[in-house]
Chains A and B, each alone.
Chain A
Amino acid sequence: MAYSEKVLDHYENPRNVGAFSKDDDGVGTGMVGAPACGDVMKLQIKVGKDGVIEDAKFKTYGCGSAIASSSLVTEWVKGKTVEQALEIKNTQIAEELALPPVKIHCSILAEDAIKAAVADYKKKHEG
């Protein structure tokens, strides 16, 4: 299957690969996985005191589309508030990367990873 140019670009030059300390107060960690293909994705956001995401990192074991989807969303979430980050939809990711129908689940995984990271961040800050 041919990957789109944007997928190849993110796959060959992934942005923001790496990790923050999970225990850091401003860091939210999202771990998700896709059973059908066995892909595993970790996405972390670093949130400033004003609630704006300052930085994001990811580590993904999966196909090119999964890596590209997570690389793309780490770019997208920067500068957004956590609430704005939650508005990112898998359809936007799939459209930006021109993912074929069989790879849509990769974009769903990336959307779920953001949600999981935000949920983890909120859990640390409630109460």
Chain B
Amino acid sequence: MSIDLQQDFFRLFGLPRRFRIDEAALELAYHDLQGRVHPDRFAHLPDSDKRLSMQWATQVNEGFRTLRKPLSRATYLLELMGVDAGLHTNTAMSPTFLMEQMEWREAVEEARAAGEADELAQLHTRLRQHSREVFDDLARQCDDEQDYAGAAETVRRLMFMEKLQHEIDDALEALES
């Protein structure tokens, strides 16, 4: 057993380099690799082999974490394609999009202050529906159109939407407790 630490995560798990992946295949490949590089299997070998197996196990775990979540998978895919998603540097989102985000957050804030759990649940459902559409856009941009600049913009949008989803969840939790 040996793992090439230079290869990208898609290759590591035997998956095509695409945004749309077979999640079950990723899961299977992960468990298979994890079993094969598990440090217990190297316990009787020299320290250098043990160290190597630790590196492999770390690589396998990091690869799985990166590919399992759609947003980190997309960011990673863009990185492989040489495109920086600009998550830390790009603040110039479309004003219309940002205005929508403001309105969503105002709605969440008001519903939370008024203790309207039903309203929050509705916002949650609407946002989930909207996210699904935007993820469809992302898949199309990455896999069908190879529009990586467009995909980077979509990833940035989804980061805001994910944050919003957390805020709605927090607000719901706060009302329930």
Contact surface of A with B, Cβ cutoff 8 Å: 31-40, 42, 59, 61, 105, 108-109, 112, 116
Contacts and interface: CB of A to CB of B under 8 A. Distances in A.
Contact of B95 (A31, A34, A39, A105): A31
A38 B85 CA distance: 14
Interface of B: 85-88, 90-93, 95, 98-99, 101-102, 105, 155-156, 159-160, 162-164
Given A38-B160, A38-B162, A40-B160, A33 B98 contact: yes
B88 A36 contact: yes
A21 to B, nearest CB: 14
A35 B156 contact: yes
B159 A35 contact: yes
Listed residue (B85, B87, B98) with the most chain A CB atoms within 10 angstroms of its CB: B98
Nearest to B88: A36
Given A33-B91, A33-B93, A61-B105, A40 B159 contact: no
A115 B90 CA distance: 14
Contacts of B155: 35
Question: What's the dominant secondary structure at chain B's contact region?
Answer: helix
B98 A36 contact: no
A59 B155 CA distance: 24
Nearest to B95: A31
Nearest to A112: B91
B91 A38 contact: no
Nearest to A59: B102
Nearest to A40: B101
A36 to B, nearest CB: 4
A34 B91 CA distance: 5
Contacts of B85: 35
A93 to B, nearest CB: 14
Nearest to A31: B98
A9 B102 CA distance: 24
